[in-house]
Amino acid sequence: MGDNRRVNTEPVSETTSLTKALLARVQAAIVAAGGWLPFDRFMAMALYEPGLGYYTNTTPKFGHLPQGKGGEGSDFVTAPELTSVFGHTVARQVAEALVATGTSEVWEFGAGTGALALQVLDALAAMGQTPERYTIVDLSGSLRKRQRAALAAHSDVVHWVDVLPETMSGVVLGNEVLDAMPVQLLARINGAWFERGVALDSQQQLQWADSPTGLRPPLDIAGPQDYLTEIHPQAEAFVRTLAERLHRGAAFFIDYGFPEAEYFHPQRHMGTLICHRAHQTDHQPLTDLGLKDITAHVNFTGVALAAQDAGMSVLGYTSQGRFLINCGLIDVARDAGPRENAMMQKLVNEHEMGELFKVLAFAPAASADNWAPMGFAAGDRIHRL
């Protein structure tokens, strides 16, 4: 990118052979790219490089504690791992959507440990609405292995695929999927915009490097202050691809994030990029490659617009807490014990997951007619997208 790059050093830790191997791949990619790698390409390698990336290697990811039985630790916990009440409640929306759209298959992207799939399938079976197929799309071989073990009781209906078919139908689920898709970083410094990427210092260690760019956030950022943020072309491209192929059914995505006006608020000047490891967070994605999750909050306005541009109708947008209550969380948890009820509070309380996490649903126009999903019956926030 020539002499216009701005550089600041952040050396990388080399604590494991996995990290060293992945670092070598990243170093080679930087050299091949002419000395500068856009952050989204770096993030894709850090998370998904075959056998080495965070989501493709064999290190444990999901769990309640940083150190578990047998010495196996975890980095973070998702809603299905907190309590089965989550999946049992989501299953009510799935059951309604299957009937309303006249479909018989459930698709789940990024199924993690298989906990959500197990909860949904158990609940659907109890309702007498077991789908003909439950198809999981997951790039991680190690997680697929865990999913097969967890879902052994439903092996007759669960299937795995690597790529999407040209056409598909059914109810799509994605819990904490969009946040793990690579993002581009934009930095406004002294009034000029740069794309932030990764380069090598004189010791061949990773460091940040900024290159002048014509890219801009979708909203003007008021004020003269320096500003760092993310844009999400890969997540939006994924949604457009899904929209083009889903000819009948509905899609529900649950994730943490904001509508556009909040995402690009002038006060959010440090962006939302964050790393998770051992149930702690940091802001150093260039360290401990392959050993930590790298994630950014979701711009739900951008996702909704991508779906609309591909011909979909937005069915609803609300907080996770409101969505779960609308779907009958209280009834589902009525006979749960004290621990389950305590975990349930984390799902809905505003200072926990209830407000930060949102639910966005969309469907092909033919599947959206004369149907309002129960999850958005009260508190729908489409007008805020």
Query: What is the reported pTM?
Result: 0.93
Phi first, then psi: what are they for 352, rounded to 5°? -110, -120
pLDDT tens-digit map of 233-290: 999 999 999 999 999 999 999 999 999 999 999 999 999 999 999 889 999 999 999 9
The pLDDT score that the predictor gives to residue 207 is: 98
Question: Of 323, 317, 326, 332, whose CA–CA distance to 362 is shortest?
Answer: 317
Residue 176 lies in a domain: yes
**Domain finish residue from 230, 265, 294:** 230
221, 126: one domain? no
pLDDT band at residue 63 using 50, 70 and 90 as cut-offs: low
The pLDDT score that the predictor gives to residue 330 is: 92
295, 313: one domain? yes
**Burial of residue 155 (number of CB atoms within 10 Å: 0-12, 13-18, 19+):** exposed
Cα separation, 368 vs 312, in Å, equals 9
Phi first, then psi: what are they for 69, rounded to 5°? -65, 145
pLDDT above 70 covers a percentage of the chain that reads 93
Full domain range(s) for residue 192 = 2-39+184-230
12, 110: one domain? no
CB proximity list for 244: less than 8 A, separation 6 or greater: 310, 311
Residue 61 lies in a domain: no
In contact, 278 and 64? CB cutoff 8 Å: no
266, 360: one domain? yes
Other beta carbons within 10 angstroms of residue 29's beta carbon come to: 16
Mean pLDDT, range 61-71, rounded to an integer? 59
Residue 51 lies in a domain: no
282, 356: one domain? yes
pLDDT tens-digit map of 189-206: 999 999 999 999 999 999
207, 268: one domain? no
Indicate the number of domains in the chain: 2
Residue 94 lies in a domain: yes
Cα separation, 89 vs 85, in Å, equals 6
In contact, 367 and 101? CB cutoff 8 Å: yes
219, 247: one domain? no
Cα separation, 44 vs 39, in Å, equals 8
Residue 63 lies in a domain: no
Residue 132 lies in a domain: yes
Residue 257 lies in a domain: yes
Question: pLDDT higher for 27 or 59?
Answer: 27
207, 320: one domain? no
